[in-house]
Chains A and B, each alone.
Chain A
Amino acid sequence: MKLITAIIQPHRLEVVKNELQNAGISGMTITDVKGYGRQKGHKEVYRGAQYVVDFIPKIKIEVVCDDINAPQITDVIVQSAHTGKIGDGKVWVTTVNDLVRVRTGEHGAIAI
């Protein structure tokens, strides 16, 4: 099983969510996060004073899936989150050692 973690622009969430649902995933978790990549150090002016803002609000999406589906789901996220501008985000895939459904106690891929 694989955990796919994606950091995306907040305004792309609706699109990414719809595309993931069309691709047949059975669940996801989203979190409000802040971060920076190459967008760091952007300047803002407010009330006549200049500020350097490091952290930009983003959304993190986490999806667990079978090994076999991971490449396709990763592509779905990348394509639907894409805008072409700096700050589009990143997606990474890690291995899940175990997954348990809390309601039934089932272990493994059956719990996806």
Chain B
Amino acid sequence: MNSIILAVSQTITADSALAAANGAWMLVAASFVFLMTPAVALFYGGMCRSKSILNMFMLCTGAMIVVAVLWPLWGYSLAYGTSDIAGIFNSPFENFLLSSLIKSENGVWTAIAGEDPSAYASTIDVAFQVTFAMITVALICGAIAERVKISTWLIFVGFWLTIVYCPLAHMVWGGGILSDAQNSITSLIFGGTTDSNGEWIANVVPHDFAGGTVVHLNAGIAALVTVLLIGQRKGFGKEPMRPHNLPFVMIGAFLLWFGWFGFNAGSAFAADGVAGYAWISTTAATGAAALGWLITERIRDQKFTSLGAASGIVAGLVAITPAADVVSPGFALVLGAIAGVVCCLAVGLKYKFGYDDSLDVVGVHFVGGLIGTVLVGFFAADTGLVYGAGPNQLFAQLIVVIVAVLYSGILTTIIVFFLNKTIGWRITEDEEVSGIDYANHGETAYEFSATTVLDR
């Protein structure tokens, strides 16, 4: 018979109940966001040609497993902690292997209790945040589909997480130069006050609720500079390179929407009214974006496509990400509609400018993230331009955009360039034409006909 034994010092207080309730939700949210990376693999994989789907899955898997290993080593510590360095990153030594965060108690590892008894355990935060790092890295894969060596990608993930993602997360969310800290850019420009507890209250705070900048703008600009450096697929712009499995693309989009409930509603860090509201605004903006995309497509190409529906869904989810808690339902719809229409038009730019953003990471994540982040400056409750609060919030948003684009763009360029000059990115042209799955992995995804079985 099982019996539940309470530790001697454990009692149920209002604080511990609150911590447990919020913590339970955050663990669920972390799991939802985790699912988003496999969902992205499905979404992108279906958009590739059939000879490349396994490679796309492997790129996404590579993102997950490398981040999973580096996060407890130094990833979390670089992004979060109390040892800020120049407002850019946190000391990787503070929580190397989570040393300052956890302790062993009766032979079991658990979080060291924080000062606030109503706060859920810090280990839950580490869990939630690693899933954001995974999806951010995985987003880049879509741009480099069908043509890169898996070994180079795995090494890139390690460098990019360490040098780009973690510092940018620190800058925006971890108390760095793009946050509400006293040494942040917006605090230096717009000033603030110190309250009775000695806490800094900034006058203007850049707002990125769930990762419009840290995740989408970041991955989007990284994808853009990467494809500019590594070049186009053979036949890009001339041969039709169409999705081989649209059902996968749609399933991927739906699972992304599902997972995004953890991404956005979980960024409320509590199971409360704000989380519930973020859930709703996310869904509303996504619906509006999908309709906006489909209608634009119908006007331009005379067809409502399933790929357009899936892409519109993702564009809306991306755009509402920085804004889900601060835009009214009406403005969520407007924001979504704008994202749907603009991103639909933006995905065609790659042909005009000649960059092979294979699966439209730039057109959806960079453009969508940009739209959402900037529109916060217009539509945010109390601080937005349309509420008569003046342009300060918009300036703050633009500052974040500019710094993030420069930081991610320049450092990603350096990493990609360095890897290109040392081990190289591209598989050979023959390998690319006959199929990257067999070249990189010695496998084929589908064995549908009688004759293919003979070959393996």
Residues of chain A at the chain B interface (Cβ within 8 Å): 44-49, 51, 53
Contacts and interface: CB of A to CB of B under 8 A. Distances in A.
B301 A48 contact: yes
B307 interface: yes
A31 to B, nearest CB: 11
B349 to A, nearest CB: 9
Contacts of A46: 240, 242, 301, 305
A103 to B, nearest CB: 20
A48 B242 contact: no
Nearest to A50: B351
Given A48-B300, A48-B301, A53 B345 contact: no
B348 interface: yes
B341 to A, nearest CB: 13
B308 to A, nearest CB: 8
A48 B345 contact: yes
A91 to B, nearest CB: 26
Contacts, number: 25
A57 to B, nearest CB: 14
B347 interface: yes
With most chain B CB atoms within 10 A of its CB, the pick from A44, A49, A51, A53 is A49
A48 B240 contact: no
Interface in B313-352: 344-345, 347-348, 351
Contacts of B305: 46-47
Interface in B270-321: 300-301, 305, 307-308
Nearest to B301: A45
A51 B308 CA distance: 17
A53 B300 CA distance: 20
Contact of B347 (A45, A47, A53): A47
A48 B351 CA distance: 9
Given A45-B301, A46-B301, A53 B240 contact: yes
Nearest to B349: A48
Sorted nearest first, the 3 A-B pairs with minimum C-beta distance are A48-B348, A51-B240, A49-B351
B292 to A, nearest CB: 15
A44 B241 CA distance: 12
B268 to A, nearest CB: 35
B293 to A, nearest CB: 11
B25 to A, nearest CB: 38
A46 B303 CA distance: 9
B242 A49 contact: no
Contacts of B347: 47-48
Nearest to B351: A49
Nearest to A51: B240
